[in-house]
Amino acid sequence: MLTQGNCLMNIRPFGWIALTLWTCSAAAANDPYPSTYRPAASTPTLIRNATVLDGAGRRFDGADVLIRDGKIVAVGPGLPGGDATEVDAKGRWVTPGLIDVHSHLGVYASPGIGATDDGNEATSPVTAAVWAEHSVWPQDPGFATALAGGVTTLQVLPGSANLIGGRGVTLRNVPATTYQAMKFPGAPHGLKMACGENPKRVYGERTQAPSTRMGNVAGYRQAFADAQDYQRQQRKYEAELAAYEKKKERDRDPAERPTPPKRDLQLETLVAAMDGKIQVHVHCYRVDEMAVMLDMAREFGFRIAAFHHGVEAYKLAERLAQEGVCGALWADWWGFKLEAYDGIWENLAYVDAPANGCAIVHSDSEEGIQRLNQETAKAMTRGNRAGLVIPPERAIRWVTSNAARSLGIADRVGTLEPGKAADVVIWNRDPFSVYALADLVYIDGAVAFDRSRPPATPPSDFLLGQPGAAR
Amino acid sequence: MNRLHRLPLLSCAIALLACTSAGAQDVLIRNAQVHTLTPQGTLERSDVRVRNGRVVEIGSSLPPGAGTTIIEANGRPLTPGLFGGITGLGVTEIEAESVTVDSSAFSGERTDGFLARPEFDATPAFNADAVAIGVNRAEGITFAMIAPNASGTLFAGQGAVARFDGSADPFVAASRTQFLDMGAAATDGVGYSRAAQIMLLQQATREATPGKPLQAGDVRLLTPTGREVLARYLAGGRMAFAVDSAPDIRHVLAYAAGHGVKPVIIGGAQAPQVAAMLAQARVPVVLEPLLNLPGEFDHIGATLENAARLHRAGVPIMFTHFSAGTNTAHKVRQGAGVAVAHGLPWDAALAALTSTPADVFGLGTGAGRIAPGSPADLVLWSGDPLDVTSFAEQVWIGGKSQSMRSRQTELRDRYRPQGAALPAAGP
């Protein structure tokens, strides 16, 4: 009671995940804040005799995993390793690196004080122009603790104070002094939107729009209507420019060269969402509001990658599956506000149940991100108790390949299929246990965390030299 | 045993809910892995007999009496009911909706200076029918501290331990505790200074101390009722201090020793730094076992090994859960398992959820244990009680079988996907 609930009362990022699979290279090429991430040096590695959950729905017992040049080469029994360093994993389990689609590490960093309160630009209900990456503090100690929990990739989102909170960024979970050195190369941005109580409370208390749910919807719609207008201006300019450039050199009058419309960062983001270049992630708890958002997405021609938090997603599971929308959910959070009152343990399992169902375990928490495996275990257990059949090789998808799908990076990470990045966790036992610990975490084939060799000093500069934090 | 008796008894065990809804009849739980929390330790394949709300006998092949409800545990674990930690269960329905929150005498937005109301008592607001109580009880939580919320001031007021037996007044009289909120999280009412907290605590204590007569015209912190109430706690009562930093814990220990107060530390992120002092004074710590980040400066140095380190030093520990809110108090069980994964002996983790809180909060002989004479507050688990892949199969409080249904199971069943098989009822 005395200190509880502070993360619930903050308006934290309750967002959206998207699941488009189209190419992200265009976004990367145009990125003025490009990734400088380079994989750490890796050696060929052969993990021997593990129980492997490959993230694509398969389980291999007594299998090997071969890693070379930072990529998965093969999974199977008795692989020839050649010069590869062998890691004996007998009795241990191997999964893909875990992916959290909903984090605020770096933007709501520890310590949680005014100076680090960088997650919500709560000064206007539509702030599509802001990018979460420009708030990310790479020294947040939470990155290292998440890595110890097997998290290799995470999406950092703006908070949920606003109807449209801004762009999220997908990061590799490596120590760095700049966020660009963590930025997942080529990953599309996310767009964070928020339904329900948070925006209407934040702005309603200031006696400004929105103060109601209908005000919320009017706010999104006007923003996208403005974006449509901007999109038309863009298209018109592009057509005029093309026509101009089509002219023969001697027929061109430089004075007649079309002038591009003034850049509007807000509308650029929304247009990119409508063009499918940004994955749309919607913080939305209630089933009726999710249905409104699905209609609105159709009205303006964008796709929703995922509903985040979605404690009532189980009431809409069939439709979400049909429309290819993921549910990024908690295992057991409920009841801290009215729109979370109908949360049930079986939410993830029910969303997973239909054909093409896409369930994702997310954290929205610096605590929860450290044990996504346990959250998955809880949801799997309750689903099985409710009469569904969810083996571990199915449930692991909720924190690996399904998460990658919603972030638009499923061609790169999320499974142990050949050619994928060698993001790998070796667990000391079945990861779906409270006692499971990550022994080794690889990112792009390089050891990023080794439990047997804890760092002599804290990875975070903030904790370095703090008496009592020396570990 | 008589086969003719056995058949109807077994069918009773299969249809457990129907069988036990009549109330506190005799119960025989057979073939359980009994975690006694006594020097007897864990008893494999043992039977536990419950009569008149208490455990009366533990042994093997105990004969059922007439009318006894038999539960076949099939080797599954049986533990005492779990302690849900320091919670607002029953006084908070939905944390974000102030009209459903009765845990504080003050508004969190108050800016009108310091208020000291140690006489505030959260327990009269308790609602035994709160949805969150049913949810948590079905997760094996049978008792919890119902605590007031300080809302940014020093004295939060009084709380007590409730047993979730459904009665309107489920509070254990001996468990009454005065709560104080100190340290960085509790300074907005006191000029943002923890030194001011100490000053005000000393002044309030002086006002409430017999033999320190007040003078007309004194500037007083406490009301006459507040002085009476605080005086009762100063006469050997229990005061719980929400503090995290090592310096603050030292102040609390000095204060408690100087005034004959029984202190309890809540939080204690840096408690391992002063573990020897805590152990020597036998001061218990209610800790959040999942806390390992410096969310506050006072948390710097907290690790997932905190529980193990305190236990090793001889400090009595208990668990509470903060981050997912009071309605998810049952997450203490997962936290205990995480503490085990980080070095805490398994038995010590279970004790932190059962016998230790029962002892610290004065629940009486045998409480938090399974021994002849213990209150029959019991949980039969599907597997390891500390693991996330286990769940409570059946809960008894005072020997009475508790409903394993809640608003959440109603929603689960209303929206069950087609093709999902109905699970078997009961253990």
A381–B423 CB contact, under 8 Å: no
Taking a contact as any Cβ pair under 8 Å apart, which residues of chain A between 226 and 285 contact chain B?
none
For the entire predicted model, the pTM comes to 0.93
User: What is the predicted pLDDT for the residue at A25?
Assistant: 37
| pLDDT reported for residue B212 | 76
**Residue B59, SS3?**
strand
- B293 contact residues in A (CB cutoff 8 A): 110, 141-142, 145, 366-367
Distance of CA B202 to the CA centre of its chain: 29
At B9 the pLDDT is 36
Q: How confident is the model at residue B424 (pLDDT cuts 50, 70, 90)?
A: low
Q: Among B156, B387, B422, select the one facing A387 at the smallest CB separation.
A: B422
Nearest CA in chain B to A6: B323
Closest residue on chain B to A349 (Cα): B417
pLDDT at position A68: 98
Per-residue pLDDT tens over the stretch B63-72: 998 899 999 9
Provide the pairing of β-strand A164-172 with A190-194. Answer: antiparallel
Contact between chains at B300 and A332 (C-beta distance less than 8 A): no
- Evaluate whether the domain defined by B82-360 bears CATH number 3.20.20.140: yes
CATH topology of domain B3-80+374-414: Urease, subunit C; domain 1 (2.30.40)
Q: pLDDT tens digits for A288-316?
A: 999 999 999 999 999 999 999 999 999 99
d(CA B263, CA B240): 6
- Pairs of CB atoms within 8 A across A/B: 189
Selecting from B295, B323, B408 the residue whose C-beta is nearest the C-beta of A110 gives B295
Binned at pLDDT 50, 70 and 90, residue A468 comes out as confident
pLDDT of residue B192: 76
Instruction: Tell me the C-alpha distance between A385 and A372, whole Å.
Output: 20
Listed by start position, the domains of chain A span 6-26+97-217+264-410
Alpha-carbon distances, residue B92 vs A9, B19, B158 (angstroms)? 14, 33, 15
Among A149, A190, A2, smallest CA distance to B321 is for: A2
Report d(CA A59, CA A95) in Å as an integer: 10
Partner-chain residue, chosen from B293, B322, B341, that has the shortest CB–CB distance to A141:
B293
Q: Is A355 on the interface with B (CB under 8 A)?
A: no
Q: For residue A220, which of A287, A135, A151, A283 has the smallest C-alpha distance?
A: A283
> Residues B168-208: pLDDT tens digits?
889 999 999 999 999 876 666 676 788 989 999 999 999 99
pLDDT above 60 for A395? yes
Chain B residue with minimum CA distance to A383: B420
CB-based contact B331 A332, cutoff 8 Å: yes
Q: Is the pLDDT of residue A23 over 80?
A: no
DSSP symbols for B329-373? GGGHHHHHHHHHHTT--HHHHHHHHTHHHHHHTT--TTTTS-STT
Res. A17 pLDDT band, cuts 50 70 90: very low
- How sure is the predictor about B418, in pLDDT bands with cuts at 50, 70 and 90? confident
Give the residue among A40, A35, A146, A213 at the shortest CA–CA distance from A399: A146
* B303-328 per-position pLDDT tens digit: 999 999 999 999 999 999 987 778 99
Whether A387 and B103 lie within 8 Å, measured CB to CB: no
Sheet of strand B155-163: strand arrangement = B82-87, B141-146, B155-163, B177-181, B238-243, B262-267, B285-287, B317-319
Q: What percent of chain A has pLDDT over 90?
A: 91
Q: What is the reported pLDDT for B7? A: 33
pLDDT > 90? residue A175 = yes
Q: What is the pLDDT of residues A193-219, one digit of tens each?
A: 999 999 999 999 999 999 999 999 999
Q: How close does chain A come to B422, measured CA to CA in Å? A: 5
Q: Is a pLDDT exceeding 60 seen at residue A348? A: yes
The reply to whether residue A9 touches residue B408, judged by beta carbons under 8 angstroms, is no
pLDDT for B51 beyond 50 = yes
User: Does A381 reach chain B within 8 Å, measured CB to CB?
Assistant: yes
**Prediction ipTM score:** 0.93
Kindly give, in sequence order, each residue whose CB lies less than 8 Å from that of residue B394, ignoring residues fewer than 6 positions away: B16, B71, B379, B380, B401, B402, B404, B426, B427
pLDDT at A412 over 60: yes
B residues 181..200 contacting A (CB < 8 A): 181, 185-186
pLDDT confidence bin for A155, thresholds 50/70/90: very high
Which chain A residues are within 8 Å of B334, Cβ to Cβ?
374, 378, 434
Provide the residue ranges of all domains of chain B, joining segments of one domain with +.
3-80+374-414, 82-360
Q: Say which amino acid occupies A154.
A: L
Q: Is the pLDDT of residue A8 over 50?
A: no
Q: What does the pLDDT look like over A75-128, one tens digit per residue?
A: 999 999 999 999 999 999 999 999 999 999 999 999 999 999 999 999 999 999
At B352-398, the pLDDT tens digits run 999 999 999 999 999 999 999 999 999 999 999 999 999 999 999 99
CATH architecture of the region A6-26+97-217+264-410:
Alpha-Beta Barrel (3.20)
Sequence-separated (6 or more) residues with CB below 8 Å from residue B60: B45, B46, B47
pLDDT digits (tens, 9 = 90+) for A417-449: 999 999 999 999 999 999 999 999 999 999 999
Contacts of B103 in chain A (CB under 8 A): 1
Q: Is A37's pLDDT higher than 80?
A: yes
Residue A96's DSSP bridge partners are: A424
Q: What is the pLDDT at residue B115?
A: 78
Per-residue pLDDT, A177: 98
CB spacing of B300 vs A469 below 8 angstroms:
yes
Structure tokens at A62: 């007594």
The mean per-residue pLDDT over the stretch A164-190 comes to 98
> What pLDDT sits at residue B109?
53
Of A8-12, A192-196, B57-61, where does mean pLDDT reach its minimum? A8-12
Q: Which amino acid is at A416?
A: L
Tell me if A469 and B422 make a contact (CB, 8 A cut-off). Answer: no
For residue A469, the model assigns a pLDDT of 72
Q: What pLDDT is recorded for position B168?
A: 82
Which residue type, as a one-letter code, is found at position B242?
A
Q: Which of A43-47, A139-143, A255-259, B278-282 shows the lowest mean pLDDT across its residues?
A: A255-259
Query: Within a 10 A sphere around the Cβ of B31, how many other Cβ atoms?
Result: 18
Asked whether residue A133 carries a pLDDT value surpassing 80, the answer given is: yes
B-chain residues within 8 Å CB-CB of A378?
Answer: 334, 388-389
Q: Write the pLDDT tens digit of every residue in A218-250.
A: 999 999 999 999 999 999 999 999 999 999 989
B110 or A63, which is more confident? A63
Model pLDDT, residue A273: 98
